[in-house]
Structures are given as C-alpha cells and as structure tokens.
Structure 1
Amino acid sequence: MNQALMDAIQLVEGGRTEEGLKNLERLEKNLHDEEKFYVADFYFQWGMVERAQQILEDLHLLYPEESDITLLLAEIYMELDEEERVIQLLNTIDSSNPAYPRCLVLLADLYQLQGLSEVSEQKLLEAKRIIPDEKVIDFALGELYFHLGKYKKAIAYYETVLQEMDEVSNINIHNRLAESLSANGQFEESIEHYQKGIEKQEDIHTRFGYGLTALQAEYYQTAITQLERVKEMDPEFTSVYLPLAKSYENEGMLLESFQTVQEGKKYDEFNKELLYYGGKIALKLQKNEEAEQFLREALALDPGFIEAAITVTNFYNAIGKYEDTVDTLTEIMTKYDEYDPKFDWNLANAYKEMEQYSDALNHYQRAYTFFKEDLDFLHDYAFFMLEEGDRKRAKELFEKLLQQDQTNVEVQDILMQLDDNFS
C-alpha cells in the first residue's frame, strides 16, 4: 500500500477527517484495485456506506468470483436494507468456497433481522459444523440465543468465546455473559463477570444490570454502590430509583430508601410501583401523611392496583378511618370491577368498627372461603361472631384456630368458657 494512502487514512483516524477524506478522494482514481477494496472497507467502517458501495459494485463487476468483495458488498446491502440483493449475492458463493462459512453467518444475520430465528440458527449451526473452532461463529450463536431469551444456550457459547477473546464487534463478552447468567438466575456467577466487564467497558446499562443482579443475590452494599453510580451517571435514568430504594431498605436504611423514592418521583411521577413502594416505606417510618399520599397517588394512576388498595385500606383500618376503607374498596369493586378476597376481610373489619354488623357478617362469610386457614383472619372472624352472640359459630372458629395453633392460651380459655356455657 502506498504511503500517501496510509497517510490519508491516518488523518481520518486521527480526527483530521475533512483533510483525510479529501486526500482519499484525490487518490482514489490512481489506486490499484486491491487498494480500492481496502479503502472501501475503511469507508464502510466509518459509516460512509454509499461511497463504499460505489467502489465495491465496480470491483464486483470486474471480479465476480472474489468472495471478499462479494461478502463486503453483501454487508453493505444489509446495512441499506436491500435484502433481496444480499441473498442474490450470497447465493453466488457455493459450499466448496472457503468463504462459505462467512456467507452462512451473514445469511443468519439477515434471517434473524427478518424474524426467521430457526432458519438463522440452522445457518449458524451449519457454519459451526464446517469450522467447529471458529469463535466468531460461537459468538454469533451466543448472540442469537441471547436475543431469543434462551440464556442457558447463550451461556455455553459465550463461555467458549471467552476462552480466546473477551470482546467481539465492540461487544464485551463478560457483560453479555453476566446478563445471561443473571437472566438464568445464576446471580453470584453473574456478578463475577459484571466485575470483569465493568473494568474494561463502563456503560450505564451494564452498571444497572450489575446493581440489579447484586440486589437479587442479596449483596445489598454492592447493589447500592452500583446503582448510586448509575444515578450519578444519569439522574434521569428513572429505572434506578426503585431497586436502589429496595437495596437501602434491605440494609435497614429506611430514611435513605424513602429519600430515594422522593428523588425518583421528581423524574417519574407516573411510576405507580415507585409510589406504592414509597407508601410502604413511609408507613415503616411512621410518616402517615406521606404514606397515604403516595398510596393514593398510586391508586389514582391505576385504580385496579390491588396491592396499593389493600395496603392503604389496611392503613385506614389501623388508624380508624373506616369510612375511607369502605369508600375506597367499594369504588374499586363497583366502578373499576376489580376484586381481591382481602377486600372482603378489610371491609368486614371496617363495617364491624362502624357497627354495621350485617354488612360485616356478609363480608366475613365471603372472605372465609379464601382465608379459612389464616390464623389472623380466624381470630378476627371468631371474635366477631362471639361479640354477635353466635356462640356456636364462634366455637367452631376458635376450635379451628386452636387446631392450627395449639399453644394459644387465650383461645383455650375462651373454648373452656364456651364449653361451660353450653353445658
């Protein structure tokens, strides 16, 4: 390769783009065909697809049997979404050609883009049979299975690639393997690869994945470190706030958890899960006003948000706002056609305290079907029946309660009194 051509390329690569490209354009007409192919390859790498296309189409007319030209031109047509021309070109390379495995890999990429994953897999497996030790093919198979969500298969191929290289096509294999392991539930193994991947390539999504995996592995301090770093990199990366708040809570740092939710709300006020979580943390901090506000806002975003409805009405019953329990749950059931058995339990307790005993009984009876093995429910229902004077039903419920908790002295005493009364 002549020195002038090398100098022009170095100018572009060194950041003096305009000067280098002008020199290349001036040199092009006097280049040998091999040098023209070399320049076309650089144009393609630089994203100057049309200039690369012009050179390669001319070269392909002159050298239709040259597979390197055919393959690079096919890649360009793929970039331009000219799928029929890609297939037409690649079909000119037969199975006896040494370039045939590369041809199969390109076809696999094309079929994957078309959503024909099974055909793509067949092409890659055929290429691997021809060149079993080619790590680029292993990488392609890993990528295919990764994007299909077949993480166990992806893991095997990424581990094979790592035997020789830790990066392919600017993709960090440690990071890919970490994501696959995490998605497959292998959290501790995943963390090891996240650590190695981050050392070589830091990006916000990898940091976030690292933090999430650490949270799932119950390495809460590691999760906090990684997720805090994500927040520093981009405070508007709203997905970070909920797992960060959960990590703080698991470390017993409730105030930091609540502050994280408040901060996240500034950037994403329509995240019902974040608002719901903020309500629960506020309750733990005994910040009742803030708790109610967060839970009501979560319900306003999604009136069918069952967990938020249960939590807020548990809270209302605990502080004596029984009418709010009735109003909230009645609206959800009638207006939004949502239901959960815990609604009946909470309504029963609210109506009991409001001295609307007929309504309370109705909801206790409905809830019993779902909670007849629940000690807390049996306790509430049994005492309600006792207060209502239905000693026979109360005795049945207390006996059921004692069967499940034979050490309950209070229930034993009540049953003895009921037996005395019946006798």
Structure 2
Amino acid sequence: MPKKWLYVIDEAVKRIENDEVELGLTALQKVQEHGRDLPEVMMYLAEVWYRLGHLEEAGDLLAEVMEKNPGMEPSLRRECQMLLAEIALDSSDFETAQHLLYECKESGFESIQLDLLLADLYSLQDLDEVAVKYLEQARQKEPDNQDLLAALGNLYFRIGEDDKAMKVLEQAGEESLSLLMIKGRSLAQNGQFEQAYQVFRQALLLDHSPEVLYGSAMMAFHLGRLDEAVELVSNLQALDEEYVAAYPLAADIQLSLGQTEKAIDSLKQYVALSGFDLDQIRRLIALLTQAGRYDEAKEYQQLHDLWDEQAEEE
C-alpha cells in the first residue's frame, strides 16, 4: 500500500479522535474519491469506516472493491468477505453473514477469526450449542487464548454445562479480571450467590471499577450482608455517581434496613439520571404514597404515564 495513502488515512483518524470530526471525515472521503483504483487502500479505508461506526460506508466500499476486482488475490478476497460478514453480524443480517462465512469455509480457509465469527453468528441467534462447536475449533488452534477461553466458558454456562465452564475458566487463569467477572455473573444468574460473592471478592482484589463494586454489592445484598452491601454501594456511587444501576440496588438495601426515606431519595436520583424502568418508577410512586407525599407521587405518576405512552408508540 502506498505510504502516502496510509499516512493520510491515519492522520484523518487522528483529526477525528481530536474532535476535528468534519475535517477528518472530509479527508477520508477525499481518499475514497481519489484512491478507488487501489483495492488495498480501499480495504484499509473500509476497516477505518467500520471502526468509526460507519457500517454502511464500509459495506458499500467493500462490495465495490470486490465487484471492480474479480481477479484479486484469494487472501484479499477473504479479508473483504470476513469484514463484510462482521458488518452483517453487527446489522443482524444473519443470512448475509452466513453466506459470506460459509463461502470462506468452503474455499478451504481455516483461521481462528473465521471460527469466532461463526460462533458469533450462531450465538446471536441463540444457537449456543452450535456456537460452542466453533469456539472449540478455535481453541484447538489457540489453546491458551484467554479471550477465547472466556467466551467459551460463558457459553458453557449459558447451555447449563457449569462443570465444563469452570474447567475452561480455570484453565484460562483465575487471576484474569475479565474471567472472574464472567464467572461471577454466570454463578449469580444460576442462583449460586455464595460462590458468586467469593468470585467478586477475588475480583475486588484486582480492581475497584464500578462493575466489580456493583457485582460485589449485589451478592452481599442477596446474602443478607447488608452493612457490607451499603459500604460497597457507597464506594461505587462515590466513584461514579452516574452509574444508574447502583440506585435501585441502593434502594433495595435501604428498604431492607428500614430506611424508607433514603430509598425514596435513591429512586428519585435514579429517575433524575434517566433510569428508564417503569417498574422502578411505580415502586417510587408506591413509596411516596405510603409516606403520605401525595403531590410528589402524582408528579411521578404523570412522568410514568408519559414514558409508558412513548414506549407503546415505539
């Protein structure tokens, strides 16, 4: 690929990342206009459009490259097909994605990326058993790939094969934060709160992010460790006061401690942060009514009815 084209594309991306969006996009469009006869440049540009979230531009450009270059090298053609398949998956166009991926597979092409995309194809359609098959194929190619093992472990949990899931995650290494989070969430979804609590406590030793604090607080609450749950939620809200999911959980904990006024405040903060959950608003209305705060309850009832109406229209 001519270095000047690569330089111009990369500089345009830097402009966009530095909030000079219009200037950067104009530069990319100029590259597309003047470099159309260079398939490798257009493929690189398509990848950039894809990373920037311009799926339609990326897809159209790749389709044009393939149409204008029927004799392109097989490796370049597969590269186009794989990216087109990713775009189709992101757009929930499973039929197109399947056609492209199977065309690659039937040509004799084998790669971990192809296996992962096929796994995504079936997982997104809730065909987890088929997705597991492709992840296992990928695992044979890269047995120590932690991201791959994490995805495989998560899928095994989803199809109810917990023992296999645990073995896969243990193979990946217990000290991986992402793996601990997957394991903790999966245990929690299966109602194994004590085991999930222990896993989240392990994760807390590695990281105090909002997600880890939330998972730990949720498990502490389910186990009745309310003082600990209060502390964890307080730490979470101090770290990120806009972490919306923390407020209903805080209300749960406060109600369990008999702190109705604090629970009301938590739910009011939730709504103020645009927590769009009608069940939580109904809960707030009920608490305000029980507390005799009828005017406030009426205001939130009006908001509830407005949001409910908008949801029905959608």
Do Structure 1 and Structure 2 share a fold, with TM-score over 0.5? yes
Q: How does 1:39-50 map to 2 (within 5 A)?
A: none
- The one-letter amino acid of 2:48's match is L
Structure 2: how far apart are the matches of 1:116 and 1:381?
51
Q: 1:243 aligns with which of 147, 151, 155?
A: 151
Structure 1 residue identity aligned to 2:192: K
Deviation (angstroms), 1:395: 6.3
- CA displacement, residues 315-362 of structure 1 (integer Å, 9 cap, x when unaligned): 43333222122110112233x355423323322332232234453443
C-alpha spacing 1:402/1:339, structure 2 compared with 1 (3 Å): closer
Aligned residue type for 2:201: R
Q: Which residue of 2 aligns with 1:190?
A: 97
* Structural mapping, 1:247-326, within 5 Å: 247-248=155-156, 253-256=159-162, 259-260=164-165, 263-269=168-174, 271-306=176-211, 308-326=212-230
Q: How does 1:94-105 map to 2 (within 5 A)?
A: none
Gaps spanning 5+ residues in structure 2: where?
A: 11-27, 51-57, 309-314
CA deviation string 1:91-145 (max 9, x = no partner): xxxxxxxxxxxxxxxxx523245455768757644xx4xxxxxxxx5x4354333
Q: Output the amino acid matched with 1:148.
A: V
Q: How far 1:166 moved relative to its partner? A: 6.0
CA distance in structure 1 between the partners assigned to 2:216 and 2:232 by the alignment: 9
Contact 1:313/1:328 (8 A) holds in 2 = yes
The 1:285–1:361 alpha-carbon spacing in structure 2 relative to 1, beyond 3 Å, is closer
The structure showing larger relative contact order (alpha-carbon pairs under 8 Å, at least 6 residues apart) is 2
Q: Figure out how many residues of one structure are paired with residues of the other and give that number.
A: 278
Q: 1:403 to 1:359 in 2, by over 3 A?
A: closer
* Cα distance in structure 1, aligned partners of 2:135 and 2:255: 46
Name the residue aligned to 1:352. 255
Following TM superposition, by how much is the alpha carbon of 1:202 offset from its aligned partner in structure 2, in angstroms?
1.1
CA contact (8 A) 1:317 1:325 kept: yes
| Residue number in structure 1 paired with 2:44 | 144
- Matched residue SS, 1:313: helix
2:15 maps to what in 1?
Answer: none
Query: In the alignment, is the contact (CA less than 8 A) between 1:178 and 1:193 conserved in 2?
Result: yes
User: What do the CA deviations read for 1:178-225 (whole angstroms, capped 9, x no partner)?
Assistant: 223313534432222222323422122332233234433555344222
Aligned partners of 2:151 and 2:33: how far apart in 1? Answer: 39
Superposed displacement of residue 148, structure 1: 2.8
The alpha-carbon distance between structure 1 residues 273 and 158, as it changes in their structure 2 partners (threshold 3 A), is farther
CA offset digits 1:27-59 (Å, max 9, x no partner) = xxxxxxxxxxxxxxxxxxxxxxxxxxxxxxxxx
1:14-413 maps to which residues of 2 (within 5 A)?
A: 108-115=1-8, 124-125=35-36, 128=37, 137=38, 139-149=39-49, 151-152=58-59, 153-161=61-69, 163-164=70-71, 167=74, 171=75, 173-184=77-88, 185=91, 186-199=93-106, 200-248=108-156, 253-256=159-162, 259-260=164-165, 263-269=168-174, 271-306=176-211, 308-334=212-238, 336-370=239-273, 374-385=277-288, 389-390=291-292, 392=294, 396=298
Q: 1:147 to 1:382 in 2, by over 3 A?
A: closer
Query: Could you tell me the TM-score, scaled by structure 2's length?
Result: 0.69
The answer as to whether partners of 1:224 and 1:248 remain within 8 angstroms in 2 is yes
**How far apart, CA to CA, are the structure 2 residues paired with 1:240 and 1:226?**
11
| Aligned CA-pair RMSD | 3.8
Please report how far the alpha carbon of residue 282 of structure 1 lies from its aligned counterpart in structure 2 after TM superposition.
0.6
Larger Rg computed on CA atoms = 1
Give 1:292 deviation, angstroms.
Answer: 1.3
Relative distance call for 1:321 and 1:379 in structure 2 (3 A) is farther
1:82 maps to: none
Letter aligned with residue 223 of structure 1:
A
CA distance in 2, matches of 1:189, 1:360: 49
Kept in 2: contact 1:242–1:274 (CA 8 A): yes
Q: Distance in 1 between matches of 2:173 and 2:5?
A: 35
SS at match of 1:376: helix
Contact 1:211–1:224 (Cα < 8 Å) also in 2: yes
Contact preservation (8 Å) 2:217, 2:229: yes
Change in Cα spacing, 1:144 to 1:392, as seen in structure 2 (3 Å) is closer
Q: Distance in 2 between matches of 1:312 and 1:225?
A: 32
Report the CA distance between 1:229 and its aligned residue: 0.5
Tell me, yes or no, if the aligned pair for 1:211 and 1:226 is still in contact at 8 Å. Answer: yes
Flag the 1:260–1:235 CA change in 2: closer, same or farther, 3 A. farther
Aligned residue for 2:208, secondary structure, equals coil
